[in-house]
Amino acid sequence: MSQLLYEGKAKKMFTTDDPNVLRVEYKNDATAFNGQKKASFEGKGRLNNAICTKIFKMLQQKNVPTHYIETISETEQLVKAVSIVPIEVVVRNVVAGSLSKRLGVDEGVTLGRTIVEFYYKSDELGDPMINSDHALAMELATKEELGEIRKLALTVNDALQAFFSEAGILLVDFKLEFGKLKATDEIVLADEISPDSCRLWDKETHEKLDKDVFRRNIADLPETYEKLLKRLEDVK
């Protein structure tokens, strides 16, 4: 009997008959500013599921370990059960969003090197930024696990940059979460990679193709996600 295990801002997680497998259902809800702005859009769950599926399959072809197993409906996936490491990893290639405000650098400036940031995963605290020393002192992960997470984040960045570039899209920044497989403790990529968790701009015009259209009231979110999906469908 399937039971609701967890409900987040954009997904629901259900148990299955296999304790090592969970069912993910993508919701139509959209949130911004740590849940302060909320809305629901018909078809958003379907679009995020389709985009995330394509990305996870691409990463698996490049031997990136992920929790993804298969897509079973327009809004659902089966994934491996993991114990989430309570660290959100943000990878930045171009200045945008909070980094622009924090450093006083204009949006759109390409960084001299990729930046990897850690945030303590806590809704109550607003996901504060931390460094490796904080993570170790708080026992959020071991030194070896932090090294593996950073290595995987940069590997994912390289793969995503090439993937999106083929569709004429600039990968500005994105958020990742990692988990440990319950059976082996192996660190794998978990959660999702979608326009909810990435900043994606058209290479030429810098048109936004991600959740910033909702955050900043720029354009219709489902239309934007549909446009993104169509551009990715031709990428091999």
Q: What is the pLDDT of residues 189-202, one digit of tens each?
A: 999 999 999 999 99
Average pLDDT over residues 183-193: 95
Structure-block tokens of residue 175: 């958020």
Residue 236 lies in a domain: no
Number of separate domains in the chain: 2
pLDDT in tens, 116-129: 999 999 989 999 99
* Full residue range of the structural domain in which residue 42 is found: 4-80
Q: Is residue 225 part of a domain?
A: no
Same domain, yes or no, for 27 and 88? no
- Measured in residues, the chain has a length of 236
The phi, psi pair for 9, rounded to 5°, reads: -70, -30
The reply to whether 91 and 131 lie within a common domain is yes
| Long-range Cβ pairs for the range 205-212 (8 Å, 24+) | 206/108, 206/170, 209/169, 211/30, 211/32, 212/97
Do 74 and 90 fall within a single domain?
no
Q: Are residues 178 and 149 in the same domain?
A: yes
